[in-house]
Amino acid sequence: MFISKSEVLNALAKIDGSKWRVDTRTSYLRLMSITPETLPFISDSTESWKARVDKELKGKSFEDHLIWESSEGFEMEAWQNSLPSPLANIPPLQGPWKIIEPIYATDAQTANGLALDALMHGAEGIWYYKGFLGAAAEVACKGIDTKIAPVFIRDGNCIDPYRQLLKLGEKSSASLDATSLLNGKRLRERGAGVVDEVAFLLAQAIETGNSVGFEAPMLFHSGVGNAFLTEIAKLRALRWLWSSVLANEGKTAQSPLILASNLSIAYAQNDEHTNILRATSSAMSSILGGAQMVMTEPWNKSWKENDTFSRRISRNTQTLLKEEGRLDKNLNQADGSYFIEHLTTIIATEAWKKVQGIEAAGGFTAYALKGTLRSDLETSAQEIRNAYLNGDRVILGVNMFLPDEVKKEAKTEQSAYQLLPEVLSLPYEVQTAQS
């Protein structure tokens, strides 16, 4: 005797009043209940969640364990069950990020060979640190289809309008013939926090837009550290605020063009391969935050030149995030995360307050010339040092879990800037203070 599927469903409905549907993907009858009690997530109140947490903490302080205090001075509860107001209105990305290969060679022919090799092994764009010009630039770019693989030449097709100001104390202006490079990483290396970096980049961009036009090409270079969620929210805040600035200027609201690279001020020679994890964390934050280009610099570049192994591993971390992690398949992964959305709003709000203060002081150039920029960076840099010296922050192999044979940390090579403090060299400074 055969029973039809509809007869089975009718019989089940009479038993418990549920609604059922048939899974037709199988060759056999598979029934799935779709009652309201089984499918939706059951909503939970903040009070009931905290009551369960207090029980699990067994007398430990809720404030000490589940209220997160950032180094920027703001606090957030781990529990978030709603979206913030205002909610970040971020223009969606139009495509996956590109893997950018840094090239440090100063000879154009050598640099070109390294670039072509990198492009054959996973890189999707090139960043030349040497300012190749004229014929040298042609040699460096030979054989590269720049329509597919973008090539950035510092001081060539990509000019930093604030380098001369910060280095020599002399005013300079953006070029109409090249992309304006707005360098936030330089400030992060000298003590700027995430709120500071967003504010400084926006202040530079607004001043540049007022000078050469807001439609002029600008490249925002961001230094990304290891505070994973904070760095994601930082980049989202930058995208939101810059798109709002453009809309206010009557331009099409769009995300800024962001080149994100790993911040290496805490990379140590002792237990050095832990730096690969730090660099990978930075790359993931950059991708999830919405950077269109991500550059993972070798973790040992400050103490070992021309290391083929570290260049390959640094490049392959991003290749794995694409090919294995599939992070290129969803372009706006962080959207809708309650915690990240709240963090984005907090960073954007604080950064915009700082931008308004810089604008009230006459803009970024005036802010730097008055010495306020240097003073602010010196203060925040000392706070970062103290956090490591006090043990609140950890550098494996330096102030925790030292190896049997401790290597002497080297001080980071300095490039003198009149209006900026020195680059932080945290492993060296912490190790020196302990000895």
Angle at CA of residue 299, ends 417 and 123, nearest 5° = 100
- pLDDT tens digits for 290-303? 999 999 999 999 99
pLDDT of residue 311 exceeding 70, the answer is yes
Q: What three-state secondary structure class fits 55?
A: helix
In this prediction, residues 366-378 reach a mean pLDDT of 98
Q: Where are the domains of the chain?
A: 1-37, 98-348, 371-434
pLDDT at 213: 95
Query: pTM above 0.75?
Result: yes
- pLDDT tens digits for 373-429? 999 999 999 999 999 999 999 999 999 999 999 999 999 888 889 999 999 999 999
pLDDT category at 289 given cuts 50, 70, 90 is very high
pLDDT category at 9 given cuts 50, 70, 90 is low
Query: Which of 430, 424, 428 shows the shortest CA–CA distance to 186?
Result: 424
- pLDDT tens digits for 32-78? 444 545 445 567 788 888 888 888 988 888 888 888 888 777 888 88
Q: What three-state secondary structure class fits 185?
A: helix
Name the fold adopted by 98-348. TIM Barrel (3.20.20)
Alpha-carbon distance 272 to 346, whole Å?
34
pLDDT at 425: 96
Residues in the chain: 435
pLDDT at 71: 74
pLDDT of residue 20 exceeding 70, the answer is no
Residue by residue, DSSP assigns 300-359 as: TTTT-SS-HHHHHHHHHHHHHHHHTT-TTS-TTTTTT-HHHHHHHHHHHHHHHHHHHHHH
Alpha-carbon distance 79 to 46, whole Å?
8
In this prediction, residues 213-219 reach a mean pLDDT of 96
pLDDT category at 21 given cuts 50, 70, 90 is low
- pLDDT tens digits for 87-103? 999 999 999 999 999 99
pLDDT category at 27 given cuts 50, 70, 90 is very low
pLDDT at 8: 61
pLDDT of residue 29 exceeding 50, the answer is no
